[in-house]
Structure 1
Amino acid sequence: MLALAAKGIAYEPKRLNNSKREQKSLAFLAINPRGRVPVLVDGQIAVRETNAILAYLEAAYPKPPLFGSSPVQTAAIWEIVSEADERLRTPIGNVTRPIFRGRAAEMAADIEKAIEPVHEELNRIENRLIEHSYLVGDAPTAADLVVYPALMQLMRGATRDGAEALNLEVIPLNQTYPNMAAWAERIEKIPAYDRAYPPHWR
């Protein structure tokens, strides 16, 4: 939904309750047989998976652009978007999943080992933000919109009960990664950001 907010596209959000397995309901499986989110429904078209949704929105609603204004920018953005799962989402999930499941104390050693590759990637991002306001250039792009939610997942995990005893070294963000903290504040000033912000992130 951040991409819709960044492009100024009107939309009606529909959030599923995972605890009730709504993503496995017959109604949702008719839209996405894999039972996964996110899904964008635009008229008669259903687009599944984050990267496909970003590509669709860019083609269907090209202004403002989310994939840069030059071939070099487009390539840099796609590089970050393409690497996000392997380099960021999956490693962060390895850290936060046991915390969200209330197993922080039980799996402390595994979590503290799992945070190491996360810090490697966060340092790369921190350095990218030395010269620019956003990950690629000086306007929000798809790169920012895939990295920001992953960072917020990490921040939520780091503030959960039990996480304070772990050696995560990610909060407060303005001390651990000041460039990323300032960048996150800029993302949060995108018009309609508040509406796009999921309630369970608060």
Structure 2
Amino acid sequence: MATVEEPKNKLKLYSYWRSSCSCRVRIALNLKGLSYEYIPVNLVKGEQFNPEFLKLNPLGYVPVLVDGDVVVSDSFAILMYLDEKYPQHPLLPRDLHKKAINYQAANIVSSSIQPLQNLAVLKFIEEKVSPDEKLPWVQCHIRNGFAALEKLLKDHAGRYATGDEIFLADLFLAAQLHAAIKRFNVDMTPFPLLSRLHEAYNELPAFQNGMPENQPDTPSSSTT
């Protein structure tokens, strides 16, 4: 059995319980068996704009990973860093075509869905348009992205998104599916493949331990 390489200095993850970007990274750390210190950043209270945090990520977003003297922000960059430095449980397949599908699926989530549902965008819509338009806005963009993912993955999925092993696409999908279903009440009836994947992720401890409801900063009154 291959030994798990642990960092010399304990990893630190600046995270927010409900952040799907942070969720992706939490799942990766769990899959790779890497212990880490969880440092909560309350986005609702604006802690991401504190000067000390902005030194870590001038954009003021979570997650941020600190590995000794190395500071990496942006979930995609963090995942690539983790995969190269800590190669146990690789996040990308060797097959070039399958690797490209993983990148494509992850990018649909990270570029075409998640940015349109983040806190800053929803706050802008609430203030500039109407509070009543927030949920329809999010649901519309999630449905559009899910429709594309359903078509993309139909010829590649096995037990998981691109076969019978867990890879990068699964991390992005799991976090996004959780948010769509639990937070934004998206009707999943048109998306049978994604619904099946969601159920598969629910059976994996590494995934479930990374979900919003299981984080140290999850409000005691929240289940989603």
* Same fold? TM cut 0.5: yes
Answer yes or no: is 1:119 the counterpart of 2:143: yes
- Whether 2:207 is the aligned partner of 1:193: answer yes
Q: What amino acid sits opposite 1:51 in the alignment?
A: F
The amino acid across from 1:17 in the alignment is: N
TM-score (norm 2): 0.69
* Counterparts in 2 of 1:23 and 1:184: CA distance versus 1, 3 Å: same
Describe the superposition over 1:70-93 as per-residue Cα deviations: whole angstroms up to 9, x where unpaired. 222222212222333332223455
CA distance 1:121–1:194, change in 2 (3 Å): closer
| AA partner of residue 190 (structure 1) | L
Structure ranking higher in helix proportion? 1
Output the CA distance in 2 between the equivalents of 1:86 and 1:126.
16
Which of 136, 147, 154 is residue 162 of structure 2 equivalent to?
A: 136
Change in Cα spacing, 1:105 to 1:189, as seen in structure 2 (3 Å) is: same
CA distance in 1, matches of 2:71, 2:60: 13
Which residue does 2:70 correspond to in 1?
A: 45
Q: How large is the RMSD of aligned CA atoms in angstroms? A: 3.2
Which segment is superposed worse, 190-199 or 66-75? 190-199
Mapping for residues 147-166 of structure 1, pairs under 5 Å: 147-159=173-185
Deviates more, 1:43-52 or 1:121-130: 121-130
What are the within-5 Å matches in structure 2 for residues 1-202 of structure 1?
1-93=26-118, 97=122, 107-108=132-133, 112=136, 115-127=139-151, 128-129=153-154, 131-159=157-185, 170-171=186-187, 173=188, 175-199=189-213, 200=218, 202=224
TM-score normalised by L of structure 1: 0.75
- Between Structure 1 and Structure 2, the one with more strand by share is 2
Unaligned runs of 5+ in 2: 1-25
Give, as a single letter, the amino acid of the residue that structure 2 aligns with 1:195: N
